[in-house]
Amino acid sequence: MAGNERAARLADRIRVILAERLEKGLRDPRLGFVTLTDVRVTGDLQHASVFYTVLGSEEERLASADALRSATGMLRSELGRNLNVRLVPTLEFIADALPENAGHIEDLLREARERDAQVAGLAASARHAGEADPYLVRGEADDEA
């Protein structure tokens, strides 16, 4: 358990350090508006997966991915200066599919609401096929009263 807590603390610290460094800016014109969404560190603290999103078009996303890939060494040395660990984890930048997934979920929810409205419209004008209580026999109604 303690190893997982340490990995989580290290992941949070890595995210903060990298975000501060990206906020200061890299000298790469290809880098767009990058937001770090998550960092996951392996249990042995040797590898860090950095998830990010880029605001902009597909070309800007690809250019930012190339810029991050080329700046990996410099960002790792920045981590080495700011982390108190014996071995600095390797970095892997992964484009986060969160915005695309969220858009897809929104489309599905909108479609479900439209179908629910259609079913509610049909149900409002629907009638029973027979009587309201098909199990009630006319002779029994008099006995129950």
Q: Are residues 81 and 111 in the same domain?
A: no
Question: Which residue, 58, 76, 96, sits at the end of a domain?
Answer: 96
Using an 8 Å Cβ cutoff, are 41 and 17 in contact?
Answer: no
Q: Which domain holds residue 24?
A: 2-96
pLDDT digits (tens, 9 = 90+) for 37-83: 899 999 888 999 999 888 878 888 888 888 888 888 888 998 989 88
Q: Are residues 105 and 91 in the same domain?
A: no
Q: Are residues 23 and 63 in the same domain?
A: yes
Q: Are residues 92 and 124 in the same domain?
A: no
Q: Are residues 105 and 34 in the same domain?
A: no
Using an 8 Å Cβ cutoff, are 86 and 129 in contact?
Answer: no
Q: Are residues 50 and 111 in the same domain?
A: no
Distance CA 34, CA 45 (A): 24
pLDDT digits (tens, 9 = 90+) for 26-46: 777 787 788 888 999 998 889
Query: What CATH number is attached to the domain comprising 72?
Result: 3.30.300.20
Using an 8 Å Cβ cutoff, are 52 and 68 in contact?
Answer: yes
Q: Are residues 69 and 134 in the same domain?
A: no
Q: Are residues 64 and 114 in the same domain?
A: no
Q: Are residues 34 and 82 in the same domain?
A: yes
